[in-house]
A and B are shown apart, each in its own frame.
Chain A
């Protein structure tokens, strides 16, 4: 972690810590705590996807599938087989990791469009399975009555408790990701993004790194899926379809592909957009998402995170200009 990241980390930590205190005291935004819990859950997915897309340069249209695998594993293990949720979560992550490894080893030999299509196809297959295995998943009508989470006998019921728990998990994941990208592995990943052939010839184990980071992103998505299950306590396959995979990609695109901070920012913005601001469009929010995706890819390829240094630069320039006068 460099100095900038450390400051950003502290700043964001403070912001996140005081947010419920502010939000709960202002009546019209008191439900924002609930939205922020979802934002935290999706941040976990987008962190993993950011590592994969922004740093390793591999596109995945299957994040919703891994999210769904985690969610349904937790749901089935706890409500059907009576497992403890904290045991079901690593089990779900394990299943997702295994699936990601089996799919990833052949898929990550593909590049660009082919990889996108392969992950897209895989995501749709998982979605079909979730809808068809009625005996286990409840089929299209989904599952209900999934138990919530307990910490040392104390039931997590209040939103504030959930909020702090989710965001501490996000911070742990972020810390881990930051350490990875400044390590030898991170430099290797960026080398793969720039030019795979060159990275390979410099001795970066490209195939190995790509699969590892794919599995890592799947694990993060699955953990997010487990939290999601226990928070909403019901599931249906509609939350894990292709559109959700595209939404996760959009979160990373909007925030800025080469920035973990951007991934979290994108997740928060998109969650607020989806749960709050775009509700007036109801069915037609799909058009808004399409337009956002197109604009992000065409006009802002670096995402919002790429604007931050520019804004700071303008600010600094005007400040020095004012001081001189």
Chain B
């Protein structure tokens, strides 16, 4: 059922440079959107708590593995498995906030960093214990062969990825700017003490933020698994690249994250295609370092406010 991410080279034989370019662009946008969703997860938690959650990438990994479990072992239909995986990972996010982060709310920044790293190691270790070291796969969301565009291959799953992530971004924007809860969450980010004074339950908002960001990470994990498979070891890298997208787009900015994620994905894909596939993982990290060193407020963040909180 699993389709390999990269088609064999024979697909390209005799095709023009333009076709290659188109193919790389499609691949790049696909992974870019995933990075963007990881970045959105960072943004939600950052918006409410000003914590950078180093375990964000593990949520993506967990989502993919849970979905693989629901489909492979429990034989649920894929769509049901999607929601089940998102829900289960949401519970993991709940547990993380309720039992770990809340205990450490008076701890210093250094302790918080160590704690979220520890949680990420624990999640990774548990995933290895539960699912083994082999990659797991999922069937694509819809049947049907690949679509050909000017010689380049577009898998239907890619359309699902674009659709789901667009839905997530729009839904989150509406949530944060239109709904009562969303506005309350933003208020917590702005000034927790003032928020508490007007009667917003800040702790519940923090809890909600962790659940939301875990769920979104899981959704990203489920939709990418049919294309690129998922194993226990993917979390750290996805997390780092997602953080790169979050910083590049300006922390806390959802549309910025989407755009920056696509930029990172494209850069990575072109590097793999034209320069060296071995260094493709380094590209996003170099972008991350450059963004942190030279433009920490992000490409699209006009105000330099994003760094003041640390």
Contacts and interface: CB of A to CB of B under 8 A. Distances in A.
Interface in B113-133: 113-115, 117-122, 124-126, 128-129, 133
B125 A287 contact: yes
A125 B289 CA distance: 10
A293 B114 contact: yes
Contact-residue bracket for chain A: 35 or more
A110 B113 contact: no
Nearest to B290: A106
Interface secondary structure of B, over-half rule: helix
B125 A114 contact: no
B110 A53 contact: yes
A286 B128 contact: yes
Contacts of B288: 117-118, 121
Contact of A283 (B128, B276, B278): B128
A155 B259 CA distance: 59
Given A53-B110, A284-B128, A286-B121, A132 B276 contact: yes
A118 B292 contact: yes
A128 B296 CA distance: 24
Interface string A107-136: 100111110111011101100110110000
A129 B286 CA distance: 12
Given A113-B51, A117-B292, A118-B292, A59 B282 contact: no
A311 B286 CA distance: 47
B282 A290 contact: no
Nearest to A53: B110
B274 interface: no
Give the most central of A53, A106, A296, A297: most B CB within 10 Å: A297
Contact-residue bracket for chain B: 35 or more
Contacts of A253: 114
B279 interface: yes
Contacts of A132: 276, 278-279
Given A106-B294, A294-B122, A297-B118, A112 B128 contact: no
A101 B62 CA distance: 38
Contacts of B122: 287, 290-291, 294
A106 B128 CA distance: 37
A184 B95 CA distance: 46
Given A128-B279, A132-B278, A293-B121, A121 B240 contact: yes
A110 B296 CA distance: 9
Nearest to B126: A287
Given A121-B285, A298-B100, A298-B104, A284 B113 contact: no
Nearest to B243: A117
B109 interface: yes
Contact of B109 (A113, A118, A289, A298): A113
Interface of B: 51-52, 54, 100, 103-104, 107, 109-115, 117-122, 124-126, 128-129, 133, 236-237, 240, 243-244, 247, 276, 278-279, 281-282, 285-286, 288-289, 292-294, 296, 307, 310
